[in-house]
Structure 1
Amino acid sequence: MTPETLDELKGTGPLSGLRIKDRWGVAVEPGFQAVPDVLILRQGKLGLSSEELNVLLNLTLHWWREDDVVFPRTATIAQRMGVSLRSVQRATKSLEKKGLVKRQKTGDGKTYYDLKPLRARLQLVASKLLEEREGISRKQKSPSGAAEAFEAA
């Protein structure tokens, strides 16, 4: 039977399945990462190409604690993505230029990345998004602002 509208496809029961494993099953057993939606929702505004976003996700894969730095090998990221080593190098350089990561080297020349700049930028972007949503919500409550709010979304 084909649904007439998308509303017919919405879940109506209690919000079960909120646990990640309930939704993804065995696919999460090797591991998973939490990524703020705002990174994807504002990818364009952050000036991130799809390749840069993919490199960034590979970096965040290794970021477990707030103050940690990450040090995946460029070759490892390139292999995961199926791209050249040079492509990953260009992407990490661009991410640094955009102020999203900070590349540094150890005394023996090994590269590592600080992701605190990404966290700080996403917090700013998220705050702005929440303010925009709040403004739209306020406009929707006023009879004259409902149409404007709809158009702004």
Structure 2
Amino acid sequence: MTVAAKLPHNNPNVIPLPRHPMPLPPAASADGPNVAHAPSHPAESTSTTERMLSTAPTDSTPASHPDGEGDQGFTATHGKKQLAVKWGEANIEWGWVALPRIILEKQHALGLSSEDINIILQIAQYWHDPGSLPFPSKARIAKAMGVHPRTVQRRLTRLHELGFIQRIERKGGPKGTLSNQYSLAGLAERATPYAEEAIQERERQRSETAARLKRKRPKTQVKGGE
């Protein structure tokens, strides 16, 4: 993922996914009703920016996943070199995007379809830094997904109505309206309770494992001399 500044991620449950970054669109057609209005300041720069490097904390004791699968892949340090080993140097050099793991694990519980997740990923890849909301056009998202722009419009409307995303209208350009900005704050808020529950369950399992190992530890016997 390309960003304007280095953004450290200190959450081991953030999954880095390689992606193919494209230049941000200079303008797009109106994105429909039910959108908020952005301030009348100039739009963010669409010039090429530096790619994001993200490092998750190292955990020497891999957690045990509730379904029995280990978490080694998520607790290891995710620096650029480690990602290149996993995905290939060229793929990571071109860019990658991070998405909280809990959103993928709980997409059904959240009520998100596979198309919704795809659109969220498409939006997330243009989220350059926390202070600059992404604004890819529906046409660009549709082209990447191989669907009609109206399909993207319908899914965006649903995600907006359910509170997962907020569409923010931008004014300007030759036609008077630019592509919408998108905030994913609602999605993050909805996913947080699931993440907190998962963390509590992980800590409970770690405590149980530590207690079980302690019980199995043999006692040291000292033989006294006569």
Which interval holds the TM-score relative to the shorter structure? Answer: 0.7 to 0.9
Question: Over aligned residue pairs, what C-alpha RMSD do you find?
Answer: 2.5
What is the rounded CA distance, in whole Å, between the counterparts of 1:122 and 1:56 in structure 2? 13
Shift of 1:140: 6.5
1:67 to 128, 131, 136: 131
What is the rounded CA distance, in whole Å, between the counterparts of 2:209 and 2:149 in structure 1? 49
Q: Secondary structure at the match of 1:35?
A: strand
Partner of residue 83, structure 1:
147
Higher relative contact order (CA 8 A, sep 6+): 2
How many residues were matched structurally?
130
What is the rounded CA distance, in whole Å, between the counterparts of 1:68 and 1:94 in structure 2? 23
Partner of residue 10, structure 2:
none
Which stretch shows the higher mean deviation, 133-142 or 105-114?
Answer: 133-142
Contact 1:17 1:23 in 2 (8 A): no
Whether 2:172 is the aligned partner of 1:109: answer no
Q: Secondary structure at the match of 2:131?
A: coil
Q: Report the structure, 1 or 2, having the larger strand content.
A: 2
TM-score by length of 2: 0.51
What is the rounded CA distance, in whole Å, between the counterparts of 1:123 and 1:64 in structure 2? 22
Contact 1:68 1:114 in 2 (8 A): no
Unaligned runs of 5+ in 2: 1-71, 213-226
Q: Secondary structure at the match of 2:109?
A: coil
Distance verdict in 2 for CA 1:72–1:16, change over 3 Å = closer
Which stretch shows the higher mean deviation, 99-108 or 46-55?
Answer: 99-108
Contact 2:110 2:191 in 1 (8 A): no
Question: Matched residues, percent identical?
Answer: 30
Partner of residue 42, structure 2:
none
Unaligned runs of 5+ in 1: 1-10, 144-153
